Structure 1
Amino acid sequence: MPAADFTAMAELRQSLIRKALRYAIFAADTTASAVTAPFDAGGVLQTLPAGYLPVGYTTTDGVTFSGDLSNSDVESGQSSSPTRSDVETDTATAAWVPQETNAAAVALYENLPLSGAGALPDLGTATWTWSRPKTPPTRYRRLVFIAEDLNKETGNAIYIVRHFPSALRTGREDEQWTRTAEISRGVTYQAYIDDDLGTDSQTWIDGPGWRDFAPPVTP
């Protein structure tokens, strides 16, 4: 076998280190259409379906995607390590802390509808009021997370889009009123399988900066 060129073999590429230079979170009720094609055939980011509301500014911690993974192991007397292991649970969650008092941030925190009866009206058009129900409803949402980065060489945009087509609030942080900080409403949402899409989470990476990585077409 020929001698290895470690630099070539390692394929270290700084241009593939991604950051969320800008990002945004959007939420909708499940009556809105799921996101199935966030880019067109040319890699251009498309507008979201009707019904998605922006969450607005968040704290500098951004969005944390995490979850829980557990395996079911089979142990045998002749082996010190498991002789079989199967995935038991594999859940996906997203957590963030909104800083704005807008319809999406309040609705996601208080478990209110984002549209239709019971939804908060437009800013400044009417008094906002809500009450905690005697029996809290199980209210699923559609969530979209969009991050924008730049291609280091060309400066063109690269987008990462993640969609939770069916997400449920599984945690919320304390709401604190103080003179020295904004009123924030941190939440955690867990993704669940959407029957139509057959997945609990879908991610796309595209954009003109992503297409710039394509090898040149030779005539």
Structure 2
Amino acid sequence: MNKTLLFLFSTVLLVGCKSETKTKEEKFWNWVSENKVELENFINSNHEDYTIYNQLTSEMKKYNSVLFPEMTLTEKNEVVLIITPDGMSEGILPTEKLYDSKPKLDNWIIKKFRQASDETKLNYDGIEYPSSDIKIIPRLDKEQGKVNIQVYIRNMNSDVKKHQALSFLYLDHILGEYNTITKVGYIDFYHLEMDKNVENGISILELRKLIEKEFKTTER
């Protein structure tokens, strides 16, 4: 083999090795970049075809099985992609790592964790009720740095599991998901009758303010 062929052969090997050493983060974000237009078309559509979104979910779960993508639009029609561990504590570090490796994508905003908001309207698998239907009795555990909560959900007996799932979403979106994972300890659920109230019960927003005050938390 002459020197020229040897050089070319070595170069091919180096290129091949380089392509094989892409990080898991690079592989995921490369896929997003390659499918950016299709993802934008999806989030701007009437959402009849979830194929590309399901593929995005699959790619994120290849990266880490507990992570999940959420997509929405801002008022300026910017695409928002939220990387969420779906309330799982073991997903915190993978979420941070994937977020820290994010590329710059035109007209996209990439966030980690479901962000806190003062109020929001959510539904889960056909179940819909306002966050005002949730009342909470908090119990501070300063030794553990957490707050244990009793969650009272109005009319929960109609579909217990779905009502509880929706309440978790409200906690994530009003407390902020990182606060829910790291600062909320034990959670006990109770049915609240339509015409009853919870003495000393507080709202989720008031719970967030309590957590911020007691534990000096900041949004991630």
* TM-score bracket relative to the smaller structure: under 0.3
| Bigger fraction of residues in strand | 1
| Bigger fraction of residues in helix | 2
TM-score relative to the length of structure 2: 0.22
TM-score relative to the length of structure 1: 0.22
Q: Which fold has the larger relative contact order, with Cα–Cα distance below 8 Å and residues 6 or more apart in sequence?
A: 1
